[in-house]
Amino acid sequence: MDIVEAFNGVKVFSATTANDREDLGGRISHWLAAHPTWTVTDKVVRQSSDDAYHCITVVLFYRDPAVTAKT
């Protein structure tokens, strides 16, 4: 069993349409670049679908050092 580093924030990205799914990596990269001091401590990726839709969800757990410093 891996020990997961503590986190103090969660960001959820999801996409259902084909165009949104194709752009999902870019959205995540842009968000990460906008928060260079934050450290992603874990991630969860889920895919679900039915007859009409295919959804992908990426959940990032992160540590924001500014929040940690306040506690």
DSSP string, 4-59: PPP-SEEEEEEE-SHHHHHHHHHHHHHHHHH-TT-EEEEEEEEEEE-SS-EEEEEE
Domains annotated for the chain, with CATH where assigned, are 9-70 (3.55.10.10)
- Tens-digit pLDDT string for the chain (71 aa): 455 568 999 999 999 998 999 999 999 999 999 999 999 999 999 999 988 888 999 999 999 999 865 55
Q: What's the pTM?
A: 0.83
> Which pLDDT does position 1 carry in this prediction?
46
